Structure 1
Amino acid sequence: MILLRSLRRHALPLGLAGALFWSAPAHAEPLQTDTVKVSASRVEKELLDVPMAVSVVTEEQIKLSPAATVGGILQDIPGVQVLNSGAQGLKRIAIRGESPNRVLILIDGQKIAENKSMDGSALLVDPAMIERIEVIKGPASVLYGSEAMGGVINIITKKGGTKPIQGQLTTSYNGSTRGFDESLSLYGGYEGFKYRTTGANTYQHNLSTPDGEAKHSKFKQQSGSAFLSYDFTPHLTVGGLYEQFYSEILAGNRKTPNFFVDISPWERKKAAVFAEIKDVTSFLPRLRMDAFWQHNRKKMLNHVEQGEAMLMDNHANNKNEQWGASLQSDWAIGENNYLIAGYEFNRDGLDAKTDQAITATGVKKGVLTTTFIDTNYKYKGYMDTHALYALMESKLPWDFTLSYGVRQTWVSSHMTTAEGNNRVQVSTKGRTMPPQYGSADAGATGDTWESNPVFNVTLMWQGIKDLALRAGFSQGFRAPNLQDKYIISSMGGGTVYPNQDLKPEKSNTWELGARYFAHGLSLDLTGFYTVADDYIASMQDSDTSYRYQNVSKAKTHGVEFSAGYDLPFGFTPYVDVTWMKREFNNDQYKTWKTGTPEWTGRTGVRALYPVNDSLDIIGDAYIRFASKTELESGTPRTTYSSDAWTTANAMLGVKFGSEKQYTVVGEVLNIFNQEYTLNTGDSIYEPGVHANLKVSVEF
C-alpha cells in the first residue's frame, strides 16, 4: 500500500520521465541465453542450464553503470542487500538475509580473506576491472567451501582481446559526491598471446543527502592490473596476472558527528598463475591448475569523542597474507554423466596490531584529573584449509538431469601470538604521575582442528524448449575464523571474548525454481526455505562483556522474481523483486524483526532504439523500493526501524560510431529527493536527487 500511495503521488513526474523514452518506435532483441555464460557450477554453461539460483551482471550492464563501487552495481539483484557500514566507499553484501561474513567474495574464483573483522569481506576491486559478476544465492559450500553459507559473489575480471591492439577509456561524474572516476585499459590478442593492462582512479567527496552533507563519507580508490596468457597449443593455455587495489575511506555517523573511522589505506595485492589443458582425452575434457598469493592490509583509526570528558582513538594495522592452490578435473563418464572433481588448499595468515589510546578527564572536589590509558595488542596466526569436492551431472530419461555433489573440508586454526600490555598515567593538580605498566588480556593462543562434509542435490527438467524447472537441496557451513576463536574485540562499546570450542555454523536449504527465455519473455523465479543452526553470536556475560557462542538459529523463506517482456515497439517492461521473511532465535529471544525488509525491488521500462547501423538510443525509467524494516536486538531488547521508501529514477544514453564504440550515459537518481537508508540502523542517509554522467570510448 505504501508503494501504491507513493506511485499515485508521483504519477505525473514519473510519466514525464517515462516520456523521454516513448518519443520513437524501437526494436529490442530478446534475451539470448547462449550469450550469457555462467561459471557458477565450476564449468561454463548457458544461464538456462545452471542448476542453482544465480544472477549475472554482464559486461554491457557494467559499462552502462556510472557506479563507482561494485556494491552500487549489485544493489538491484533479487535477494541481495548492500550494506554501507556508514561509508559510501565501503560496501558489503548480504544475501537472503545472511550477514556479509556468511557471504563468500571471490575474484576469479579465489577468495578475499578477512580474519579480523566482525563485518565480513569487502569488495576490494574497481568496476573497470570487471568482465561480469555472478551472484550465487543460497548455500554454495559444496563447490566453494566455507563462508559460502548465504551465497557467493564471484567477480570475473577482464582478460585479453580479439585484435592485436585494443583499448577502452572511461570517465564518469557522480553528482552526489561531486567526484570523478577514470579508467584506461589496453588489451589485445595475437598469435596465441592475450594481454590486458588496466589503471583506474576514483575520488569522491562527502556525500550530499536530503539531510545535508554526510560528514566523513568521502573516499578514493586507485587500482591497476596486468594479465598475460599464451596458447602453447590449441589444447594448452598458460597465463598469469597481477592486481593492486588501494583505497582511503572515511566512515561517519549522522547522529554522532564527533565519531569517525578513517581507513587509510585498505589495499589488496594479488599475483596468480594458471594452466588449463582442454581435451586431454575423450573422457578428460578439461584439467585446470591455479595458484595465487594475495596480501590484504587495512590500517584503521576509530575516533570517539564524548564531550570534553573522554577521547578514544583505536588504531588497527591488520595484514592478511594468503597462499592458495587448486586442481580441478572434468570427466566425461559415458554419454550421460559429467563429473567435476577437485582439490583446494588455502592458507590465511594474520599479522595484526591494535593500539587503543583513551584520554579521560574528570573533576572531583574542584580538582581536574586527566587519565591516559594506552593499550597495545599483537596477534599472529593462520588457518589452513584443505578440501576435496565432486559434483556429478547425470542425464536421465524424459529430459531430466540430476546434479549431486559432496565436499569434505578440513580446517586447522593456529594462533601463535596473542599479547597485550598497557600503560596508565594520571595527571592531577598540575603534576604528572609516573606511568604504571601492566599486561592486558588479548585473547588466547592455541590450535584447533575441525572437518565438515556438505552435500547437495538438484533435479532439473527441460522437456519444453527454453524452459527449465528445478528442485534442489543444498547445505552450507561456515568455519569459525581467528577472530571468533582467539581474539578479544573491544571496539563498539563493549568487550567480546573469543571461544576456542566453537563449532562450524550450518544450514539446509530447499529450493524450487523456473527459468524461461524465449519469444521476448525472460523469466527467472525461485522460492526457497532455509534453516540455519549453530550461528555464532556474542552473548552477554555482564553489562559490558560478551562471548562468542553457538547459540543462534534462523529460518528464512522467500521468493526471488525477475521478468521482462519485449513489446512490439521495442520497449521492455521489467521487474526484479524479492519477498523474504526471516526469523532469528537464540537463547534469549525469538523475533521476526531481523533487519530484513519484507519487500525490495526495482521495476520500470527499458528501451532500445537503433536509429541506424552507427547509432543506438537507450533509456530506462524505473523505481526502486523497500518496505519498512525493523530490527530487534540486545538485552534488554530494543527495536530499531527504518521507514519504507520509493525512489524514481531515469537514464538516457547513446551508443554511436562505426562500431558503436562511443557510449554516453546520463541518469537522474532519486528524482523526488527521498530521505531514506538502505538498512535499519544505517549511519548515513542515501544520496538525494542527483545526476550522473559516464562516457566510454573503445578503440
Structure 2
Amino acid sequence: MPARLLSFIFLWTTLQLRAQQITYTLYIRDVQGPLAGATVRIFDQQQTAPISGGITDTDGRIALKVPADRARSAEIRMLGYRTEWLTLNPQTTTYHITLREETYSLPNVVITASKAQQRIEETTVSLTVIRPNLVENKNPTDIQQTMNQVPGVNVNDGQANIRSGSGWSYGAGTRVLLLLDNLPLISPDANQVQWTIVPFESLDQMEIIKGASSALYGSSALNGVINVRTRSDYHKRTWVNLFAGGHPIAPRPELRWWTGLQSLGGLQMSLQNKIDDSTNPNRWFGYLISALGQWDEGYQWRSPDNRGRLFFKTHFNRSRHLHYGLNGNISYRRSASPLIWNGEDQALIALDSSITTNAGFTYHIDPWLTFHQFRSTGVLRHEINARLLAIDNQSRDDSTVFDNASQSYLLQYQTQWLSHSGWKITTGLFGLWAVSNSELFVGRHTSRNLAAYIQTDYRLRRFNLSAGTRYEHFLLDNRSQARPVFRFGANYQAAPYTHLFASWGQGFRFPSMAEAFTRTNVGTVNIFPNPRLNPEYGNTYELGLKQLLSAGQHLKMQLEFALYRMDFDDMIEFTFSRWDTTGGFAQIQRQLGFKSVNIGPVRIQGFELTATGLYSHSHHQIQFLAGYAYSDPHVRFPDQPFILNDITGQPLKYSDLSTDDSTGTLKYRYRHLLKTDLQYTHTRLGYRAGISIRFNDYMRNLDRVFYQVIPGVQSVHQRLNRGDLLIDLRIGYRWPSGAMANLIIDNLLNREVMIRPAFLGPPMRILLQYQVTLE
C-alpha cells in the first residue's frame, strides 16, 4: 500500500508540473516606438516547432500563456527588421525588446522634412528615401548615377532636376540643394552641386524632398533638397569594395575611336567602430573612416577621370547631455571633358579636338556640438554646426585659362524643443560667407548670406501640422537682396495605414557668382556676364496620399501619389543673343553667345506615383523601387518679349529662341519619367539578381542656336525622337562569410542618348565587383 501511494503521489506531482502554465509578456519596439504586427513564437528546447505564438497589438504588446517546463526561447520576427531570439527564464515574465532594421528594409524614419526624426508616412511633403543597398548593388562611380534611379529626378550633365524644375545651364547655379549630413555642399562660386566628393561608401540613407524647401534650408532649395546622411550607428563594421571593367563598344561603329576596352576600376573602403567607457555607459567615442581611389579612361576621346577621396567622421559622447565631434573630407580629381562634339559621326570626339582639363583639390572641415537639456515636459536640443569648404581648381583648354579658387565659411546655431505633448519647435540662425578669385569672373568677388528661421510641428490626434518661415539676406559684392519665405503643411491619418497630405511652400534662389560675372569663351561658345540678374522666386503646391500596404508577413509596401504645381517668377536661363557690339559686324562671332537672363513667369504642373516595397517568403526576397512622373513645364507667355536686349535694343521672345516654338515648353525638360529597380535575393543559397529600367520621353525643346551652328545636333535630336530606354542588369552571389561578387552591365542595350546638346551619354559599361563586409 505505501508503494502504491508513493507512485500515485509521484505521478500526480509530475502531471501537475507539466500542466503548470506561465504567461510571458513581451513589449516590442524599434528606435521610434512600439511595433504593431510583430510575430512572436515560443519554442521548446529542440526548437523544431513553436508551442505558442501570436502578433503584437498597437502598443507593441503580446501576452502568451505556455507550459512552464517546455518554454525555452522566443523568436521575434518582423518584415524589415533583424530576427531576434530571446532565452526565457520563468523568474522573469516581462521582456522589452528593441528590433534593429535590416540593411535591405524599407525606410521608415527621415530627418530632412522637419530637421528632426519623423516617420516617413507622417511627413507633409513628397519624399523619397534611398537606402545603401541600391548604391552597393549598382556600384556607381559617383552619386549622380544613383540619383538618376530616383522617381521624378533627373541629373543632366551635373544639373539636378526634380519634376522638371530645372534644365541645363552649363553648370552654373542649382535649384536643388545638396546636403551632406544636413549642411549644404555646393560650390561657393558657381553654386554647383559637388557630386564627386560625396562619400557614398559611408551612406546611411539619402532623403529627397520634392518641392520648394527654402523656408527650412534657404537659397538653392527652390526645386527641392537632397540630403545625404552618412552612417552614425558606429557599430563595428568593415566594408571593402573592389571593381574593374570598362566600355567595350560604342552605340554605333563609326563612333568608336578606341580599340579594346576603355577601362575603369577602383577601390572603396569604409571602417567604423565604437569605443565604450567601461565605467560610464553614457561616455563613448565613435569614428568612421572611408576612402575611394578610382581611375577611368573615359568613353569620350582624351577625357579620363581619375580621383581619390578620404572622409572621416567622429563622435565624442561625453554624457547623455553633451556630444561633439569633427568631420572632414578631402578629394583630389584630375579629369578632362569636351563641351561640343565634332559632328554626328564623331560625337565622342571634341570639336577641333578642344578638351578642357581640370585638376585640383576640394576639402571641407566640419566641427559640431550638440547639448541636450532634459526637462519634465520635453527635451531642448542646442546644436552648433560649422563648415569650411575650399575648392582649388586648375582648368584650361588650348586657348583659355579657367583657374579658380574659392572658399566658403558656414556657421549655424539651431535649437529644437521636443515636447512630450506633441510640439516640435525648431529655430535657427545661419551665416554663409564666400569668396572667389577666378579669371572666369574677372577678379575677386565676395558674397554673404544671413538668415533666421523657425518651424513648428504639432501632432494633434490624427493631424500632423507644420508651419515655418525664414528671413534671408544676401549680399553679392555691393548688391543686396532680402525677403521672407513661408511654408505650411498638413498630414491627416484617414485610416490606420492611410495618410493624406497637403503642402504649400515658397522658394527662392539668389544668382550665383558664375551667372552674374562669368566672361569667357569655351571653344566656339561665348558666355557674357549679367550683374543685374534678379533672384528667382516661386511657390510650390502639393496634394497627395501616402499608403502603407501589407499582405501578411510577406509583403510590405509604401505608395505615394502626389499632384503638384510650381509657379516661378523671374526664372533664370542662359539665353542666346548678340550681347556685344564692339568692333561692329566684323567681330560678330565674338559678339554672339549666352548670358543668364530672367525669362519671366513659368509654371510646372503634373503628378507622380512612387512605390517602394519588400516581398519576403521563406528564403526569397524581392525589393523594389518604382515610380512614374508626368510634368508639363512651360513658360507662361512664350510669345511676349521677356527682355529687351540692352546692347542691340532687340526684344527677345522665348518662342523665337526655341526649337519647339509652338507650345512654350521649357528647354531641356522631359514630360515623362519612368524608373524601376528590382532586386532578388535567395538568402539561403546566396544567389542575387537585379534589374534597373529608366525611360524618359523626347526632350522636345532646345536652344534653337544649336540647330543652326553645331553640326549634327538637329539630325541626332530628331533621329532619337522616341525617348530613351536604359536597362541595367546585375547578377551575383553572396557567401555565408559576407563576401559578395557581382557582374554589372549598365546600358545593356547600348542605347545612344544625347543627354544635352552636342554631348552623348555613356555607352554600355561592364563591371566586375567584389565586396567584403565584416561586422
TM score, norm. by length of structure 1:
0.78
Over alpha carbons, which structure has the higher Rg? 2
2:610 paired with 1:562: yes
- 2:383 corresponds to: 288
* Residue 582 (str. 1) matches residue 633 (str. 2): yes
Structure 1 equivalent of residue 39 of structure 2: none
State the Cα deviation string for residues 300-333 of structure 1 (Å, max 9, x = none): 1134xxxxxxxxx111111111111111111245
Residue 271 to residue 571, structure 1, CA distance change in 2 (3 Å): closer
Structure 1 residue aligned with 2:695: 625
> SS of the residue aligned with 1:455?
strand
2:456 aligned partner: 392
Q: Out of 522, 535, 548, which is 2:571 matched to?
A: 535
Count of matched residue pairs? 589
- Mapping for residues 81-120 of structure 1, pairs under 5 Å: 81-84=154-157, 91-97=158-164, 98-99=166-167, 101-117=174-190
CA shift at 1:224, angstroms? 0.6
CA offsets per residue over residues 97-143 of structure 1, 9 Å max, x none? 21462121222222234354486654432422433222221111111
Asked if the contact 1:351/1:379 (under 8 Å) is kept, the reply is yes
Alignment counterpart, residue 278 of structure 1, candidates 364, 372, 380: 372
Alpha-carbon separation, structure 1, partners of 2:420 and 2:771: 51
Unaligned runs of 5+ in 1: 1-26, 85-90, 208-213, 304-312, 355-376, 415-446
Distance in 2 separating the partners of 1:544 and 1:28: 64
On the 8 A contact 2:436/2:444 being kept in 1, the answer is yes
1:522 to 546, 555, 558: 558
Q: What do you get for the CA RMSD once the two structures are aligned?
A: 2.8
Q: Which range is displaced more, 401-410 or 463-472?
A: 463-472
The answer for the alignment partner of 2:66 in structure 1 is none
Q: CA deviation at 1:618?
A: 2.6
Q: In 1, distance between residues paired with 2:736 and 2:623?
A: 25
| 2:742 match | 665
User: 1:276-425 to 2 correspondence within 5 Å?
Assistant: 276-281=370-375, 282-303=377-398, 313-332=399-418, 335-354=421-440, 378-397=442-461, 399-414=462-477
Cα 1:495/1:650, change in 2 over 3 Å? closer
Q: Are 1:505 and 2:536 an aligned pair?
A: yes
Report whether the alignment pairs 1:262 with 2:356: yes
Q: Is the 8 A contact 2:693 2:726 kept in 1?
A: yes
1:66 and 1:174 in contact (8 A); partners too: no
| AA aligned opposite 2:566 | T
Residue in 2 aligned with 1:373?
none
Structure-2 separation of matches of 1:263 and 1:698:
39
SS in 2 for 1:632: coil
Q: Quick one: which of 495, 500, 518 aligns to 1:469?
A: 500
1:185 aligns with 2:270: yes
The residue number in structure 2 matching 1:426 is: none
**Equivalent residue of 1:314, what SS?**
coil
Deviation at 1:34, TM superposition (A): 6.2
Structure 1 equivalent of residue 289 of structure 2:
197
2:121 match: secondary structure: helix
Structure 2 residue runs of 5 or longer lacking an equivalent are 1-76, 81-103, 168-172, 248-261, 277-283, 343-349, 580-590, 643-652, 656-663, 709-713
Q: Relative to structure 1, is the Cα distance of residues 124 and 225 closer, same or farther in structure 2, using a 3 angstrom cutoff? A: closer
Deviates more, 1:578-587 or 1:500-509: 578-587
The 3 A distance-change label for structure 1 pair 574 and 295 is closer
User: CA separation in 2, counterparts of 1:39 and 1:561?
Assistant: 20
Provide the rounded CA distance (Å) in 2 between the counterparts of 1:545 and 1:61.
41
The code of the aligned residue for 2:741 comes to: V
* Higher RCO, Cα 8 Å, sep 6+: 1
Q: Percent identity?
A: 17
Shift of 1:454: 0.8
Residues 58-97 of structure 1 correspond to what in structure 2 (within 5 A)? 58-84=131-157, 91-97=158-164
Cα 1:298–1:178 shift into 2, 3 Å: same
Counterpart-to-counterpart distance in 2, 1:698 and 1:682: 46
Q: Secondary structure at the match of 1:71?
A: helix
Distance 1:653 1:29 in 2: 23
Picking from 749, 757, 763, the partner of 1:687 is 763
- Matched residue, 1:361: none
Deviations 1:400-454 (A, max 9, x none): 222111010011122xxxxxxxxxxxxxxxxxxxxxxxxxxxxxxxx01110211
The residue type paired with residue 570 of structure 2 is D
Q: Offset at 1:469?
A: 1.5
- What aligned pairs does 1:50-61 form with structure 2 within 5 A after superposition? 50-61=123-134
Give the C-alpha shift of residue 237 in structure 1: 0.6
Match of residue 772 from structure 2: 696
Change (3 A) 1:228 1:516: same
* Further displaced range: 181-190 or 541-550: 541-550
Contact kept? 2:124, 2:491, Cα under 8 Å? yes
Q: Distance in 2 between matches of 1:685 and 1:547?
A: 25
Is 1:48 aligned to residue 121 of structure 2? yes
- How far the C-alpha of 1:378 sits from its partner, in A, is 4.4
**Residues 570 and 695 from structure 1, CA distance in 2 versus in 1: closer, same or farther, beyond 3 angstroms?**
closer
CA displacement at 1:351 relative to structure 2: 1.5
Q: Is residue 143 from structure 1 mapped to residue 237 from structure 2 by the alignment?
A: no
TM-score by length of 2: 0.71
Match of 2:667 among 594, 615, 619: 594
Q: Which residue of 1 aligns with 2:6?
A: none
